[in-house]
Structure 1
Amino acid sequence: MRNKTKIINAFKQNGSRIKRLRKPERSDVDEALLKWFKQQRSDNVPVSGPLLMVKAEEFAKKLKDEEFVCGAGWTDKFKLRHNITFGKVSGAARGVNTETTTEWLTAVWPSIRKGYADKDIFNADETGIFFRLTPDRTLKFKGEKSVGGKLSKERITALVCANATGSEKRKLLVIGKSKNPRCFKNVENLPVRYSANKKSWMTSSLFEAELRSWDRELQTRKRKIILLVDNCPAHPVLQNLEKIKLVFIPANTTSVLQPMDQGVIRNLKCHYRKLILLRIVESIEKKQDYTVTLLDAIRFIEKAWRRVTTKTIQNCFRHAGILSTQGLNGTENEDDTNNDDDLPLTEWLRKVNCDELGQYDYEAYATIDDNIVTTEAQTDDDIVSEVKKDTEEEDEEGGEECSEVSIPTVSDALEAIRVVNLFYESRGGSSEIVTKIMDIERNLESVYWASNRKQMKITDYCNTFSVLFCGTFTPQVGLRSNSVHL
């Protein structure tokens, strides 16, 4: 019972073929070999027993173990631990439909989605973002390769996932370069899930961890879903998912069949750029310099994701053919009332007509990271580094430009909310907005009184007892009992 969680997780990942949970002779070699095997399986590469033995010895040498000799017995136990059938991938092999997208949509997709409601069909995809890029730097960076160099170090990768009706948008998974950025200090809760590796890329281990965590959430809610993903090295075939039906879009069709690529990600980035431009204009008015930190980027991308409307997501699923045009009733969301949200960046700039932003190539600014690399097959050295839990990542993000967050006091927050309240009152803000502001102010006042209330001392209770009983408080020392006698 003490190891209940570990045993249940091992059962779900490895299946029921093992009866005891034993550690392998070399756990690091075992882990590295498993990561390599999953990558080969994702690429549909057949793996034999002798090849496993060779790779195990190669990983052992890279992990500084020259004496390790891999025999047939070790590989047999390896396959048994991880539910691998000799000479082939365990379970059904992933077949890739080479026919046209129309044939896949008409002949394959209906049978896959049978029994699933529109709200239970999800699509997930990664996108890279040059989070510090500003319009004045666009021309300087234009044409620079996204792999290597300074530009790639100033990027993040975000996993974007939503359902076909647009009613559910998963919390973003953001992948940065630094494991412990300095700007995260004093920040207890991030609005996204955050992870890091040296290249800011999605990896198969991150993807698997995300899906298994989601699968556990769905188990508690007793709900089943379909998750559509593309065929990339970071998306391995996962066994023993109980509530997630993982479906791979046919190769070379993601630009047509993947809903996130039909406009959801472009819309997300458009909102992100607008938030950066707004902050730049504010800095110009205050005559201050402004640099986007990783924490700013995370806050902006989360706000941008909330501004992607239900209607936009529905239209993208329809355009991909995942849903028929009659599949939804065109339900409107309260977020859909602002037509400016879906305007492309260049059109939005012409509408706001902001002179402070200057004349730049905003079309290039909006599309410069459309094709940024977000994943790549891991080399043996990458796998070994991950197994060793290499801690060579920078502890700070961007060096001196990323400072610690200054935490405002409760008094600062109260003053700020009162300024906001005054702003809306003077401009005739709606009663609903003013009511929400008053609720926030009331909550802050409660926090203020709670934080300033002094903790009572034992002498305070003594004085109270003296008044009530008109006597003196005389604690008895040395008694066996813990009671206090008056």
Structure 2
Amino acid sequence: MQGGRNRLKWEEIEEQLRQEELMVYGVVETHFRDMEQPPYNPDYVCELVGAIHLLEYSWRQVEAMTVQNCFKRAGFSVCAGDADDASDTIDQTSDIVDEACKTLLAEVLERQGVTEGISFPDFRDADSDVQTSPDMSDEAIVASVVEVSPNDSDEDDMESDNTGEPGPTVAEAAHCVSVMRVFAEKRGLAEKLAHSISEFEAAVVAARLPRRQMKITDFVTRS
């Protein structure tokens, strides 16, 4: 009699485990079926602009030595004489430009009736010593840009008193990154601010709290 009761209990336990296994299988199957449908999670869709930003950020993570090694493995090499040849080419180009300007100046002076007294080097360097801006130290430059008001000390005291207030969350900061990126694109500043926005975005991502690893049981509701 006792053995029959134990057998019935084991059958009930096996049936319960079988039902839970089928339920878990159904949850997983439904999850993967939904993932195959585009409306499931829009985060899986990457727009062209987002892909460009990811590509630009990834490229900036590549070190110069890595690029050099890639060229070396492809068979490219830098010869010692290449730098000297480039310097000679620059000097030759500068001489050609100076000669062309000298000829043009001579033609202009001849048309004006002036044939002597003005040399091309003197004409070229006439304003090289003219001071176009005052000599200012770093402190003077900063002082001219930053306006110090008498209320700054009071504002600092107020800020120190309000240090207990919660700041923006990581989600709010991430939303601000998206807003700044759209603003830069609409105002034609994307190329100029791309590096700064990407650096700020990386800092926001690094500030996220580590998430707990999900388990399969987290997707199952026990009755």
Give TM-score scaled by structure 1 length.
Answer: 0.14
**Bigger fraction of residues in helix:** 2
Rg comparison, structure with higher value? 2
TM-score (norm 2): 0.27
